[in-house]
Structure 1
Amino acid sequence: MDRKVILYIAMSIDGFIARKNGDVDWLEGDGSDEKADMGYEDFYEDIDTVIMGRTTYEQILTFGEYPYKGSKGYVYTSKDTDNNEDVVFTKEKPEELIDRLKKNDGKNIWVVGGSLIIDEFIKKNLIDEYVISIIPTILGDGIPLFRGNDSQMEFKLDKHEMVNGIVLLYYSKRINNK
């Protein structure tokens, strides 16, 4: 199986992935079908590597136990930090990390967040698929998914779904993207 780099993320209608303070307390649907399957478990079954920034990693730890045990984790940080059983802290260039990971057998690679890491991966054209869940909320301000300094990229809409008022959009890069 060819490994793909997938951005799987939620954003508000106005394009934010978190409040300015990083809070994601607004990540919920409209209540129309709270038991609906959002497809996360199926998605995660095809993942064996997660990549995130230090702030995202630290925020995830506030939710309780590290949720990605069993997957290889990479956390981008500028601080010198010792690796642990769950993650490798790295300063490696994204294109070098992805090239190395794709040379090895494995499942897909999930770019979890945050916006600075996502921006780097977009600039380097390293993301193969985008799965974006639009949450029925307008925040008005926050941390944007797209930082606005990227080159134009074009996508193909492969699939879309609506679950509990949340619209899930599945995109792949068009072949003419470099």
Structure 2
Amino acid sequence: MPKVVFSNKLKASKWENATIAGGDITEEITNLKKKDGKDIIVYGGDSFVSSLVQHGLIDEFYLLLNPMALGNGKSAFNPLENNQLLTLKKSSPFPCGTVLLYYTR
């Protein structure tokens, strides 16, 4: 499975079947979405994901809600300049108490 690593520091990939993308995230993701293939799955920190959300580059959200109360920490979408209107399509609870939430824009 091909992988794309977004980094402003890395210049070459140490991993097989992985390329490094730097520069304009919006342009890179837009180009990836135009290619033939399956869905794109994104993992990343709060500022990376927020940047993709802010530019309207995420079509579907799969969020795992864990039953834990934290006194402080980072928001999953930090920072967002505009509210995002999402539609809940499905929720799936797990025996451990975690819930998978599936939303679309």
Give the % identical residues.
31
Q: Distance in 1 between matches of 2:81 and 2:101?
A: 20
Runs of 5+ in structure 2 lacking a partner?
none
For the pair 1:73 / 2:14, whether they are aligned, the reply is no
Structure 1 position 112, deviation (Å): 0.8
Aligned to 1:140: 71
Aligned to 2:83: 152
Aligned to 2:99: 167
Q: Secondary structure at the match of 2:40?
A: strand
Q: Which has the higher contact order (CA 8 A, sep 6+)?
A: 1
Q: How many residues align?
A: 103
Q: Distance in 1 between matches of 2:18 and 2:72?
A: 31
Q: Distance in 1 between matches of 2:71 and 2:6?
A: 28
For the pair 1:110 / 2:72, whether they are aligned, the reply is no
Structure 1 position 75, deviation (Å): 1.7
Structure 1's consecutive aligned runs of 4 or more residues displaced over 6 angstroms after TM superposition are none
Runs of 5+ in structure 1 lacking a partner?
1-70, 174-178
Q: Secondary structure at the match of 1:145?
A: coil
TM-score normalised by structure 1 residue count: 0.53
Aligned to 1:96: 27
| Deviations 1:97-129, CA, capped at 9 Å, x for gaps | 222122221000011111111011011110000
Tell me which protein shows more strand as a share of its residues.
Answer: 1
